[in-house]
Amino acid sequence: MNLRLLLAISSAFLLTVVALVMSGGSWVSPNSVGHAQDQDPAQASFTCEGLAARASGLGGNQVSIDTQIESIDVASLDDAISKYSVLVVRPNYAQSFRVRECSLETWYKLQVTETISSRSYVSPCATCAQPSSVPAGVPAPSSGEILSSEVGGRITVNGVSIIQATSIPLLSLSNTYVVFANLNPTNNVATIIGGGFMLSSDGNTLVPLDKTDSPSRIVTEVASRYGNSLSQLRAALN
Protein backbone atom coordinates (compact mmCIF):
# COMPACT_ATOMS: atom_id res chain seq x y z
CA MET A 1 0.00 0.00 0.00
CA ASN A 2 1.34 3.46 -0.88
CA LEU A 3 2.09 5.76 2.02
CA ARG A 4 2.48 9.50 1.64
CA LEU A 5 4.30 11.46 4.31
CA LEU A 6 4.25 15.23 4.65
CA LEU A 7 6.41 17.29 6.98
CA ALA A 8 5.64 20.95 7.38
CA ILE A 9 7.18 23.72 9.45
CA SER A 10 4.59 25.91 11.16
CA SER A 11 5.06 29.44 12.41
CA ALA A 12 5.48 27.97 15.91
CA PHE A 13 8.45 25.94 14.65
CA LEU A 14 6.68 22.61 14.94
CA LEU A 15 7.81 19.77 12.71
CA THR A 16 4.77 17.78 11.63
CA VAL A 17 4.69 14.29 10.15
CA VAL A 18 1.60 12.70 8.64
CA ALA A 19 1.67 8.91 8.61
CA LEU A 20 -0.58 5.87 8.57
CA VAL A 21 -0.99 2.91 10.86
CA MET A 22 -2.88 -0.06 9.53
CA SER A 23 -5.51 -2.18 11.27
CA GLY A 24 -4.26 -3.96 14.35
CA GLY A 25 -1.80 -1.24 15.24
CA SER A 26 1.09 -2.31 13.02
CA TRP A 27 3.27 0.61 11.93
CA VAL A 28 3.85 1.29 8.27
CA SER A 29 7.17 3.06 8.14
CA PRO A 30 8.86 4.73 5.14
CA ASN A 31 12.56 4.69 4.43
CA SER A 32 12.66 8.46 4.29
CA VAL A 33 10.59 11.64 4.57
CA GLY A 34 10.89 15.21 3.35
CA HIS A 35 9.91 18.65 4.66
CA ALA A 36 8.74 21.75 2.83
CA GLN A 37 8.20 21.75 -0.89
CA ASP A 38 11.83 21.69 -2.05
CA GLN A 39 13.22 19.00 0.26
CA ASP A 40 14.40 15.77 -1.32
CA PRO A 41 12.64 12.99 0.67
CA ALA A 42 15.63 10.70 0.21
CA GLN A 43 17.75 13.03 2.35
CA ALA A 44 15.74 12.57 5.56
CA SER A 45 15.93 9.64 7.95
CA PHE A 46 12.71 8.73 9.71
CA THR A 47 14.10 8.27 13.20
CA CYS A 48 13.28 10.17 16.38
CA GLU A 49 16.88 11.40 16.56
CA GLY A 50 16.75 12.53 12.94
CA LEU A 51 13.48 14.39 13.38
CA ALA A 52 14.66 15.95 16.65
CA ALA A 53 17.89 17.12 15.00
CA ARG A 54 15.99 18.67 12.11
CA ALA A 55 13.57 20.42 14.46
CA SER A 56 16.45 21.78 16.55
CA GLY A 57 18.20 22.97 13.40
CA LEU A 58 15.10 24.95 12.50
CA GLY A 59 14.84 26.47 15.97
CA GLY A 60 12.01 24.22 17.10
CA ASN A 61 11.53 22.05 20.16
CA GLN A 62 8.60 19.83 19.18
CA VAL A 63 7.82 17.25 16.50
CA SER A 64 4.22 16.17 15.87
CA ILE A 65 3.53 12.88 14.11
CA ASP A 66 -0.11 12.73 12.99
CA THR A 67 -1.12 9.09 12.59
CA GLN A 68 -4.25 7.64 11.05
CA ILE A 69 -5.18 4.28 12.60
CA GLU A 70 -7.93 1.77 12.06
CA SER A 71 -9.31 0.08 15.16
CA ILE A 72 -9.53 -3.71 15.14
CA ASP A 73 -12.98 -4.51 13.79
CA VAL A 74 -15.35 -7.46 14.04
CA ALA A 75 -18.02 -9.03 11.84
CA SER A 76 -20.78 -7.67 14.08
CA LEU A 77 -21.51 -6.64 17.65
CA ASP A 78 -22.82 -10.15 18.33
CA ASP A 79 -19.50 -11.51 17.09
CA ALA A 80 -17.65 -9.22 19.52
CA ILE A 81 -19.92 -10.17 22.41
CA SER A 82 -19.34 -13.86 21.75
CA LYS A 83 -15.54 -13.55 21.56
CA TYR A 84 -14.39 -10.75 23.85
CA SER A 85 -14.73 -9.70 27.46
CA VAL A 86 -16.56 -6.45 28.19
CA LEU A 87 -14.86 -4.53 31.00
CA VAL A 88 -15.19 -1.23 32.82
CA VAL A 89 -11.65 0.04 33.43
CA ARG A 90 -9.83 3.08 34.78
CA PRO A 91 -6.19 3.76 33.85
CA ASN A 92 -3.83 4.31 36.80
CA TYR A 93 -0.53 4.25 34.90
CA ALA A 94 0.46 5.49 31.44
CA GLN A 95 3.92 5.63 29.87
CA SER A 96 5.02 6.10 26.27
CA PHE A 97 7.77 4.01 24.68
CA ARG A 98 9.54 3.97 21.34
CA VAL A 99 8.97 0.61 19.63
CA ARG A 100 10.80 1.09 16.33
CA GLU A 101 12.27 3.95 14.32
CA CYS A 102 9.99 6.75 15.50
CA SER A 103 6.80 4.83 16.21
CA LEU A 104 5.48 5.26 19.75
CA GLU A 105 3.25 3.15 21.96
CA THR A 106 1.64 4.12 25.24
CA TRP A 107 1.28 1.35 27.81
CA TYR A 108 -1.33 1.41 30.55
CA LYS A 109 -2.19 -0.34 33.73
CA LEU A 110 -5.97 -0.54 33.86
CA GLN A 111 -7.90 -1.12 37.07
CA VAL A 112 -10.87 -3.35 36.25
CA THR A 113 -13.78 -1.90 38.19
CA GLU A 114 -16.44 -4.16 36.64
CA THR A 115 -16.48 -7.29 34.50
CA ILE A 116 -19.70 -7.11 32.52
CA SER A 117 -18.91 -10.30 30.60
CA SER A 118 -15.90 -12.61 30.48
CA ARG A 119 -14.66 -14.62 27.50
CA SER A 120 -11.66 -16.87 26.90
CA TYR A 121 -8.59 -15.52 25.11
CA VAL A 122 -8.72 -15.64 21.31
CA SER A 123 -5.28 -16.27 19.78
CA PRO A 124 -4.48 -13.89 16.87
CA CYS A 125 -4.41 -15.48 13.45
CA ALA A 126 -1.01 -16.15 11.88
CA THR A 127 -1.34 -13.23 9.46
CA CYS A 128 -2.84 -10.77 11.97
CA ALA A 129 -0.90 -8.04 13.73
CA GLN A 130 0.60 -9.53 16.87
CA PRO A 131 0.43 -7.73 20.22
CA SER A 132 3.64 -5.99 21.20
CA SER A 133 5.84 -7.34 23.96
CA VAL A 134 5.56 -5.51 27.27
CA PRO A 135 8.47 -3.03 27.43
CA ALA A 136 10.93 -3.19 30.28
CA GLY A 137 9.92 -0.60 32.83
CA VAL A 138 6.18 -1.23 32.72
CA PRO A 139 5.21 -2.25 36.26
CA ALA A 140 3.57 -5.63 36.69
CA PRO A 141 -0.20 -5.45 37.18
CA SER A 142 -1.54 -6.02 40.66
CA SER A 143 -4.65 -8.01 41.48
CA GLY A 144 -7.60 -6.59 39.57
CA GLU A 145 -5.37 -4.83 37.04
CA ILE A 146 -4.53 -5.56 33.41
CA LEU A 147 -2.07 -4.10 30.90
CA SER A 148 -2.89 -2.67 27.50
CA SER A 149 -1.22 -0.51 24.87
CA GLU A 150 -2.14 1.88 22.08
CA VAL A 151 -0.32 3.47 19.18
CA GLY A 152 0.84 7.00 19.96
CA GLY A 153 2.28 8.95 22.85
CA ARG A 154 4.94 11.47 23.80
CA ILE A 155 8.65 11.13 24.50
CA THR A 156 11.59 13.56 24.70
CA VAL A 157 14.66 13.05 22.48
CA ASN A 158 17.66 15.34 22.89
CA GLY A 159 15.49 18.07 24.39
CA VAL A 160 12.84 17.86 21.65
CA SER A 161 9.31 16.61 22.39
CA ILE A 162 8.19 13.90 19.96
CA ILE A 163 4.38 13.65 19.97
CA GLN A 164 2.57 10.97 18.01
CA ALA A 165 -1.13 11.81 17.89
CA THR A 166 -3.65 9.35 16.47
CA SER A 167 -7.14 9.46 15.02
CA ILE A 168 -8.31 7.55 18.12
CA PRO A 169 -7.28 9.45 21.27
CA LEU A 170 -5.15 7.93 23.99
CA LEU A 171 -6.70 7.01 27.32
CA SER A 172 -6.68 9.54 30.14
CA LEU A 173 -5.91 8.77 33.78
CA SER A 174 -8.88 10.94 34.77
CA ASN A 175 -11.53 8.96 32.86
CA THR A 176 -13.30 5.61 33.06
CA TYR A 177 -13.75 3.45 29.97
CA VAL A 178 -15.82 0.54 28.73
CA VAL A 179 -13.86 -1.76 26.44
CA PHE A 180 -14.24 -4.98 24.51
CA ALA A 181 -11.00 -6.75 25.38
CA ASN A 182 -9.14 -9.84 24.26
CA LEU A 183 -7.35 -10.66 27.51
CA ASN A 184 -4.34 -12.97 27.51
CA PRO A 185 -4.31 -14.64 30.94
CA THR A 186 -0.63 -15.60 30.70
CA ASN A 187 0.58 -12.00 30.91
CA ASN A 188 -2.63 -10.06 31.71
CA VAL A 189 -2.25 -8.02 28.51
CA ALA A 190 -5.50 -6.99 26.86
CA THR A 191 -5.99 -5.97 23.25
CA ILE A 192 -8.80 -3.42 23.02
CA ILE A 193 -11.19 -4.22 20.19
CA GLY A 194 -13.15 -1.53 18.35
CA GLY A 195 -11.58 1.50 19.99
CA GLY A 196 -13.51 1.50 23.26
CA PHE A 197 -15.83 4.01 24.92
CA MET A 198 -15.32 6.73 27.49
CA LEU A 199 -17.90 6.62 30.26
CA SER A 200 -19.41 10.09 30.66
CA SER A 201 -19.87 11.85 33.99
CA ASP A 202 -23.45 10.59 34.30
CA GLY A 203 -22.06 7.08 34.74
CA ASN A 204 -24.14 5.66 31.89
CA THR A 205 -23.55 7.35 28.54
CA LEU A 206 -20.90 5.69 26.37
CA VAL A 207 -18.85 8.10 24.25
CA PRO A 208 -17.02 6.32 21.39
CA LEU A 209 -13.31 6.99 21.16
CA ASP A 210 -13.35 6.07 17.46
CA LYS A 211 -14.82 9.16 15.80
CA THR A 212 -13.40 8.40 12.38
CA ASP A 213 -15.53 8.33 9.23
CA SER A 214 -15.59 4.53 9.33
CA PRO A 215 -15.83 3.47 12.98
CA SER A 216 -15.93 -0.16 14.03
CA ARG A 217 -19.14 -2.18 14.03
CA ILE A 218 -18.96 -2.22 17.81
CA VAL A 219 -19.30 1.57 17.82
CA THR A 220 -22.12 1.71 15.28
CA GLU A 221 -24.12 -1.17 16.73
CA VAL A 222 -23.80 -0.18 20.38
CA ALA A 223 -25.29 3.16 19.30
CA SER A 224 -28.09 1.66 17.18
CA ARG A 225 -29.07 -1.18 19.54
CA TYR A 226 -28.41 0.24 22.98
CA GLY A 227 -28.40 4.00 22.46
CA ASN A 228 -24.85 4.23 23.84
CA SER A 229 -26.25 3.30 27.25
CA LEU A 230 -24.10 1.27 29.62
CA SER A 231 -27.13 0.11 31.59
CA GLN A 232 -28.80 -1.23 28.43
CA LEU A 233 -25.57 -2.95 27.31
CA ARG A 234 -25.09 -4.45 30.76
CA ALA A 235 -28.68 -5.72 30.87
CA ALA A 236 -28.30 -7.36 27.45
CA LEU A 237 -25.14 -9.21 28.51
CA ASN A 238 -26.39 -10.44 31.88
Q: Give the pLDDT confidence of 32-55 residue by residue, as tens digits.
A: 232 322 333 333 457 899 889 988
What does each C-alpha distance from 63 to 7, 38, 50, 95, 132 come to in angstroms? 10, 19, 11, 18, 24
Contact, 145 vs 111, CB < 8 A?
yes
Q: Is residue 161 part of a domain?
A: no
What secondary structure letter does DSSP report for 39?
-
Domain ranges, residue 225: 77-94+108-150+170-237
Contact, 174 vs 110, CB < 8 A?
no
Q: Is residue 69 part of a domain?
A: no
pTM of this structure = 0.80
What does each C-alpha distance from 72 to 23, 47, 83, 113, 196 come to in angstroms? 6, 27, 13, 24, 10
Q: What are residue 19's DSSP bridge partners?
A: 67
Q: Is residue 185 part of a domain?
A: yes
The phi, psi pair for 131, rounded to 5°, reads -60, 145
The total of structural domains in the chain comes to 1
Q: Is residue 160 part of a domain?
A: no
pLDDT of residue 182: 94
User: Cα separation of 234 and 115, whole Å?
Assistant: 10
Q: Is residue 156 part of a domain?
A: no
User: Cα separation of 58 and 45, whole Å?
Assistant: 16
Q: Is residue 209 part of a domain?
A: yes
Q: Is residue 67 part of a domain?
A: no
Collapsed DSSP state (helix, strand, coil) of residue 181: strand
Q: Is residue 54 part of a domain?
A: no
In which residue ranges of the chain is pLDDT below 70?
Answer: 1-45, 70-71, 125-131
pLDDT of residue 3: 26
